[in-house]
Amino acid sequence: MVYAIIAGGVFLSDLILKRYMDKKYARKVRHPRLGGRIVLEKYYNKGAALNFMVKRPNLLRIIHTVILVVVGVFSYFLMRLSGHALEKTGVALLLGGGLNNLYDRYTKGHVVDYFHLNFGPKWLRAIVFNISDFCIFIGALLAVAGSEVS
């Protein structure tokens, strides 16, 4: 049950943030925060990370759906096992973030990204993220780390 709450919390919190950004911020206008270390900037991403497959949105939507179905089936069996807390947490984060971004793809035709980091390597500064993206990344790390521990 706790893992469903994690996934649902990720989905709902990012849904709320994306709606807020859509209503309150213009596209591609930078709003520095935390001394300029974080920059809010609404961006509509029709592709995957770094606009990968931007010209193939239908194929990307299908691939995204298939991946989430596979992760969902895996999580069904994983949740039936005792232990594996790290893996379960990772998969819950992956599902919440992945479902939220997929929801955007189906309902809007793009994913709403809204902040980027203004520190670190140049390539990292160029990426505009959303909370779901971070949850997918952290979730994947936790799931892999948990599988190594188990």
Question: What confidence tens digit (pLDDT) does each residue in 3-44 have?
Answer: 999 999 999 999 999 999 999 999 989 999 999 999 999 999
Identified catalytic residue from 14, 22, 104, 133: 133
Tell me, what DSSP letter sits at residue 83?
Answer: -
Task: Grade residue 50 by pLDDT with cuts at 50, 70 and 90.
Answer: confident
**125 sits in which H/E element:** helix 122-125
The mean per-residue pLDDT over the stretch 107-131 comes to 94
Q: What ranges do the domains of the chain cover?
A: 2-149
Nearest to 117 by CA among 107, 129, 125: 125
> Catalytic site residue 133?
yes
Q: CB-based burial of residue 68 (10 Å sphere; 0-12 exposed, 13-18 middle, 19+ buried)?
A: middle
pTM: 0.92
Alpha helices in 25-84 (DSSP H): 57-79
- Residue 98: the pLDDT is 98
Task: Grade residue 2 by pLDDT with cuts at 50, 70 and 90.
Answer: very high
